[in-house]
Amino acid sequence: MTATPAHRPVLVVDFGAQYAQLIARRVREAGVYSELVPHTVTAAEVLAKDPLGIVLSGGPSSVYEEGAPSFDDEIFGLGIPVLGICYGFQVMARALGGEVGNTGDREYGATDATVVAGGGQLLGGQPELQNVWMSHGDAVQRAPEGFEVLARTAVTPVAAFGSVEKRMYGVQWHPEVRHSDHGQRVLENFLHRVAGIPADWNAGNVIAEQVERIRAQVGTGKVICGLSGGVDSAVAAALVHEAVGDQLVCVFVDHGLLRQDERRQVEEDYVASTGVRLVTVDARERFLNALAGVTDPETKRKIIGREFIRTFEQAQAELIAESAEEGDPIRFLVQGTLYPDVVESGGGSGTANIKSHHNVGGLPEDMTFELVEPLRDLFKDEVREIGRKLGLPEVIVSRHPFPGPGLGIRIIGEVTEGRLETLRAADAIAREEMTAAGLDAEIWQCPVVLLADVRSVGVQGDGRTYGHPIVLRPVSSEDAMTADWTRVPYEVLAKISNRITNQVPEVNRVVLDVTSKPPGTIEWE
């Protein structure tokens, strides 16, 4: 989805900050549409996007060092409201005639900031003393002429400034992180008070706009969508079905690597809530045969990806033949591409290529389908909200991220039917207890891993056992780029461990992974 005149964007300029995407998300949480752009954006490119405001992100560099991220200073003369954050605050200060330097004092982490001069439009109404999250070695030592100092800390005399006339403000701290007590309020004050932007970006508007666009793109054509059971493809399909109804047919490939009850959820719950036409392909035997004897993780991934594509292509061919007989061939393919996929793959106007993604640039060059990507400009939390608005079952909408290769990469060792059944049972118990404890919203993802090539001695029923360990990997994250292990209450862990070791044959030990990302990844393989 691209911005429409009703939703002109706020541009978030990325100076290489780890939190640039988070800033864009926080702006949207304030009911305002945002887009990421690189720091190399020109004044002409900004004008072409017709933004309602600009937010300059932080970054790891010093503004005065050689090779530091540059910025087109002409943008400050366009009359567009600007908020600078951390490095962006310093870029603004320097460009407008202020002074930035290294004082020898650094501030990292929680810091006490004092609001002065009433805080202006940006900080007005907030507590005079507040906790903010800092991460800087340089500091603004003198505000530009015509700017009023609005906050300071023990070592930073200009921690925030602003100009009512220019509609430009800046803060040295990071308001986008939850560690800054009033951070979201700072962003909202800039968006609504300073820039005068209404909070009209919401799920209802997104659905209405996308339905209109999909109808305009597809017309009377037929559409195909590969359903994985995950949130992204489910919501994308629901949006398209809302727009064109029976012109859409969904294909669900059961590769045998799904978690417990997932096929039923798609075939029954999802179809019942949407009325979509669904074709299920049972390819369990095909995948297990292809994976027989394979233990290398990367080889498993490639086999699973290859077999999935071949299975989906076969189903496509059959549907295309059926459609051709009816005189209206299938011309459109739905994908659940999200905004982070586009940005991280270098496909948008954001930062450099971080990683390839199967939905962005990973499709065959000779593909004849025209893509329909209704979620392309949305973040995960927005996608979930749209799913709820469309009436999708909560069990699908609130699903934690699940890898495309499924349980195949959560078995350390060869994938067999017996090992899959063992892991399914353990995973189901862990998810059930996490849900019962009300932890689903706190946990981003909880991979449950079977160490199939490892056995440990145990005692069960007064006898010696030689079973497999199960690893629990609960993590908390904003966007999966970084993550920390979730501090699950001991009593919940105890219930999970007791149930798994008592109810799942072949398992006699449950362990907890307490590694952050980095250095570890979220998945084990």
Euclidean distance between CA atoms 376 and 210, whole angstroms: 11
Closest CA to 108 of 51, 167, 163, 156: 156
Interhelix angle 490-503/417-436, rounded to 10 degrees, is: 150
Q: Which two tokens stand for residue 434?
A: 């996490």
176 is catalytic: yes
**Given 7, 29, 35, 86, the catalytic residue:** 86
User: DSSP alpha helices (H): ranges in 334-480?
Assistant: 339-344, 380-389, 394-397, 417-436
86 is catalytic: yes
Contacts 24+ apart (CB under 8 A), 456-463: 456/508, 456/509, 457/508, 458/501, 458/508, 458/509, 460/501, 460/508
**Given 29, 35, 107, 176, the catalytic residue:** 176
Closest CA to 447 of 410, 418, 421, 420: 410
Q: Which two tokens stand for residue 190?
A: 């800039």
Euclidean distance between CA atoms 63 and 409, whole angstroms: 44
> Residue 416: what residue type?
T
**Given 7, 136, 174, 182, the catalytic residue:** 174
H or E stretch at 206 = helix 203-218
242 is catalytic: no
Strands 463-472 and 370-372: unpaired
* Residues recorded for the chain: 525
Peptide bond into 175 cis (omega under 30): no
Quote the Cα angle for 443-447-450, to 5°: 150
Catalytic residues: 86, 174, 176
